[in-house]
Amino acid sequence: MYMRILIPLLFIVFLSACSEQKSTSYKPKVFTKVDNISSLPELRQFVKSVDSSLQKFITKSPKFYGMNSRNLVATLKHRLDSMFPNFTFIKEDFDGNGYTDLVVTGEYYENELLVLAIMNDGKEKYTAIPLNLRYHDDFPTYPKLVYKDQIPVIELYSSHAFAERSENGISKTTLRYKFGTFIDYVKPSKAYEIANIEFRTHGCHGYCPVYELILNENSTSTFKAKYHNFGKERIADIKNEEGEFETIIRKEDYMELCNIISYLQIKNYYDDYFSGSMHSASATLKVHFKDGTTKTIEDDGMAATNGLVYLYNKLSAIRFNQDWKEIDTVN
């Protein structure tokens, strides 16, 4: 899934060489070429070698993105520039495999500012994972390495669409490596007991898939495909939906969804999120718990948090990785 974003992989270098980062003494278990990178030119050369799609990538520190001085965001950027006066790439072993990973920042196309983690498998193979969700933006994101419960995490500082959900207009997102990607950092807590999961998408000004899922453990689950689920195989027709299907969800797949929801402690999330993008899909997630409570999240833009995006991707995949049987709805 990330390969598609890799193409516009726009990222690059530097992340906070702040006091907290300088106080760490990270040492890799096994040295690779990543550990020999010590300068910006070396970093630029390495990033371009990771993937051919990065040949046009422009390495740039967030501090060197210009802003309109009369604009409110310029004031926010000035504050962040002062918080992060020096920048360098971040090196850490985020997945615990003994090899040094990188976090870099940069620009691929104008106003596509990306922060990415380049994960190192130790065999000269690397995977780039975008960390920020709002990379179609002209406001940069400032990364910082910190440790929580001895776990290396990345804090991302930027502007926020909801000023009331941030500190003086500056947002902070805290991410850790888990489930093979970077998602919201959450302190361990008691697992949720989940009765069932409902997920509905509401489309967009384009060809976003529209569907409904009602997922149950060990009993019939349903998938109602409305529009744009099957590509050219079934042409979207607003008068004729694509079909209804049912199956028993494989236990391991249902439990994976439950584990993600429990890890995220989803009851603590806001009830609604709004991206402001007219071309992004929106969705409703409803989780029913065995204690009789329900958590509903309305996400206009489907990009509220890294953790929710990861969950949405897993739910979307359920449409095609189960043994669905079409229901005859003709009376």
DSSP-assigned states of every residue in 259-321: HHHHHHTGGGS-SEEE---TTS-EEEEEEEETTS-EEEEEEETS-S-HHHHHHHHHHHHHTTS
DSSP sequence for 67-120: --TTSHHHHHHHHHHHH---EE-EEE-SSSSSS-EEEEEEESSTTBEEEEEEEE
Domain ranges of the chain: 2-184, 194-326
Q: For residues 3 and 199, give the distance between their C-alpha atoms in angstroms, rounded to a whole number.
A: 25
Phi, psi of 317 (to 5 degrees): -65, -25
Q: What is the pLDDT of residues 231-255, one digit of tens each?
A: 654 454 555 788 999 999 999 999 9
**Strand, helix or coil for residue 251:** helix
d(CA 275, CA 137): 12
pLDDT at 119: 96
For residue 70, pLDDT over 50 is answered with no
* pLDDT for the residue numbered 68: 52
Kindly report the CATH number that applies to the domain delimited by 194-326. 3.30.1560.10
Q: Give the least confident one: 41-55, 235-249, 252-266.
A: 235-249
- Please tell me the pTM assigned to this model: 0.84
